[in-house]
Amino acid sequence: MRTNRIMNRHPSQWIALLALVGAGVMSFITSSNAGGGAGVDIGISLKEGLGNEPVWVGLGILLFVYALIISEVVHRTLAAAIGGLAAIIALNYYKIGDALTLAETTTLIEWETIGLLLGMMVMVGIISHTGLFEWFAVQAYKQSKGNVWSLVVILCVVTAVLSAFLDNVTTMLLLTPVTIQLARVLDLNPIPILIAEVIFSNIGGTATMIGDPPNIIIGSMMSESAIAQSNYPGLASDGVAFNDFIIELAPGILLTIVPTFMMLKWMYADEFAGERIRDVKELESKYGIKDMRMLKISGFILSAVILCFFLNPILHIAVSWVALVGAVLMLLATDPHELEEPLEKVEWTTLIFFAGLFVLIHSLQHLGVINWIGTQVEAAIGFFSAEYQFVAALVIILWVSAIASAFIDNIPYTITMIPIVLQISHTMGLELGPLIWALAFGACLGGNGTLIGASANVVTAGMSEEAGYPISFRQFFKAGFPVMLMTVSIMTGYIVVVYWVGKIWKFAFVAIAILGVIWQYSNGKKKGKNWAEALVDTQSISEMIAETLEQSEEE
């Protein structure tokens, strides 16, 4: 009976399955040949005697693409496609040998990322049909008791925690539909809430090895075994493992949470103010579970997928394969007459945008743009005297990584910077571990700088636009870039004190952060504020500073 049901699938269902399998095959090929789908090495060599000409041309193309995206003259997907085409033309002009074939050009696309996004989008589309997101939205409203700021804090905390233990792209794929549905029910503008969630997805993802793509790359290429096989085997003992990311990165991330909430509360003072009172019973009856059978099946499959994501360091199965297999299983369980709906929810424009962006960035990598950035970093560190080279290396790597990751894709940047960091550590005799963490902090937190600074940003913008709420480059930049500057500034103080002054300060910072939150919360509660308002009660801080200044003047 079950066999007949499977064989009697609608033709469009089989087409969808073949498309998913095709994406999975491309993902497997690229990840097998390039270590994670970072584009297959097609052996491109540039002509001799060109100097920095290809670099300047590449930078010009990148600036042109950004001008198109910022001005919104054309859609960002078309801008990325134009940039990718221009970069391919430049690469063909400067390279040795015949022009790139279409097959060679497609290897510049990170198919593992495309496969992960496609698989998760299909699963999210199927799950959304069950009514789960509407139900979750009602539960979040009940916990907030109608207070808008409390609701924002709940959503952002959930986002940060999930991003740490899944990855930020998956988290935003799951939470964006919830947020949009909730905003519609409460008559709120979802854009500020989505921007806040994305910012916290990048912050939360920084805390673990599996939370953000740069950390995944660092964990793979900076492990003890990987370094032992590199040009610097003597540094293998300084290689990093899964737990090291939590121990070294999470304490610093804790320091950024409350300040980020404060900044967002100040930026969106009007949008995050007030209350939205709704009849909870009416909401529960209107926005309940629609298809319990499919929810159980899809919930089981999604749980298995998430478990495999979490166990990725042990299983060593590409996350794209896991997502695509999950999508195929869900499609097989879907009613053939309802197949089109989840497939329509796939953000094809977002996938095409990523494809164009990957072609652009990897072409720039072959033109020498990213390697040029790394060379400038090494030269800047060498400018300082030996006594201060270590702290200079920490600060320069952190800030260059943050700024670069805000404006170019952080995946090829991280891949390029890893051998440079190894070289800096080896030639200058600097401790490798802190340099790795400076790179991780910068590459991950820098993603908050612009709309295309991180994959999670682009995915969220695509889903929001599909729902009728387009997020412009400028809207995101106004909130994301200041938050990026603030969090990277906090991390500057953190890494300098912890790795230059003494590692004991790491635990002191955690204690200070926890005690500070408790103190602020208790002071806010004494003033009659709710728990969310108490956490960002800047009045308590200003009063404490004023009292301290008065006491010092009296003395």
pLDDT in tens, the chain (555 residues): 444 444 455 555 555 555 555 555 554 444 444 333 444 456 677 766 667 888 899 989 988 988 888 787 888 889 889 999 999 999 888 876 677 888 888 888 878 778 887 888 888 888 878 888 778 778 878 888 888 898 899 899 989 988 887 778 888 988 898 899 888 888 899 999 999 999 999 999 999 887 888 888 888 778 888 788 877 889 988 888 878 898 999 999 999 998 999 999 999 988 888 888 776 677 777 777 888 888 899 889 988 988 887 787 677 777 788 889 999 999 888 877 677 777 777 878 878 888 888 888 888 888 888 778 777 888 888 888 888 999 999 999 999 999 988 987 777 678 778 888 888 888 888 999 999 999 999 999 999 999 988 888 988 999 999 899 999 999 999 999 999 999 999 999 999 999 988 777 777 877 877 887 787 777 777 777 777 777 776 665 556 555 665 666 665
* Helix 389-407 with 473-496: angle, nearest 10 deg: 170
* Helix 432-445 with 190-205: angle, nearest 10 deg: 170
Among 444, 412, 417, which Cα is nearest to 113's? 412
Whether 453 and 464 have beta carbons less than 8 Å apart is answered as no
Q: Partners of 147 in the beta sheet?
A: 275
Please enumerate in sequence order all residues whose Cβ is within 8 A of that of 349, keeping only pairs 6 or more positions apart, or say none: 75, 77, 462, 465
Whether 416 and 217 have beta carbons less than 8 Å apart is answered as no
Alpha helix locations (H) across 231-276? 242-267
What token pair was written down for 121?
């989008």
Whether 146 and 276 have beta carbons less than 8 Å apart is answered as yes
Please enumerate in sequence order all residues whose Cβ is within 8 A of that of 358, keeping only pairs 6 or more positions apart, or say none: 39, 84, 108, 109, 110, 113, 409
Q: Partners of 95 in the beta sheet?
A: 46
Residues 52 and 27: their CA atoms lie apart, in Å, by 33
Rg (CA), the chain: 24
Chain-centre distance of CA 292, in angstroms? 32
Q: Partners of 275 in the beta sheet?
A: 147
Distance (Å) of CA 461 to CA 99, 126, 213: 35, 20, 18
Degrees to nearest 5, angle at CA 154 with 152 and 159: 95
Among 325, 194, 206, 305, which Cα is nearest to 254's? 206
Please enumerate in sequence order all residues whose Cβ is within 8 A of that of 35, keeping only pairs 6 or more positions apart, or say none: 220, 221
| Dihedral pair phi/psi, residue 336, rounded to 5° | -55, -30
Degrees to nearest 5, angle at CA 160 with 255 and 404: 75
Residues 457 and 453: their CA atoms lie apart, in Å, by 7
Amino acid letter, residue 473: F
Among 431, 457, 432, which Cα is nearest to 444's? 457
Stated pTM of the model = 0.76
Helical (H) or strand (E) element with 181: helix 168-186
Q: Partners of 46 in the beta sheet?
A: 95
Among 450, 439, 375, which Cα is nearest to 411's? 439
Residues 203 and 444: their CA atoms lie apart, in Å, by 7
Alpha helix locations (H) across 385-446? 389-407, 410-428, 432-445
pLDDT at position 554: 63
Chain-centre distance of CA 477, in angstroms? 15
Among 206, 87, 270, which Cα is nearest to 447's? 206
Torsion, Cα 151 156 158 159, to 10 degrees, reads 140
Please enumerate in sequence order all residues whose Cβ is within 8 A of that of 276, keeping only pairs 6 or more positions apart, or say none: 141, 146, 148, 186, 187, 188
**Burial of residue 133 (number of CB atoms within 10 Å: 0-12, 13-18, 19+):** buried
Please enumerate in sequence order all residues whose Cβ is within 8 A of that of 287, keeping only pairs 6 or more positions apart, or say none: 131, 134, 135, 137, 138, 181, 185
Please enumerate in sequence order all residues whose Cβ is within 8 A of that of 344, keeping only pairs 6 or more positions apart, or say none: 125
pLDDT at position 339: 73
**Burial of residue 59 (number of CB atoms within 10 Å: 0-12, 13-18, 19+):** middle
Distance (Å) of CA 425 to CA 215, 225, 377, 419, 429: 19, 17, 13, 10, 5
Degrees to nearest 5, angle at CA 136 with 130 and 140: 165
What token pair was written down for 436?
């790795």
| Dihedral pair phi/psi, residue 202, rounded to 5° | -70, -35
DSSP state of 470: P
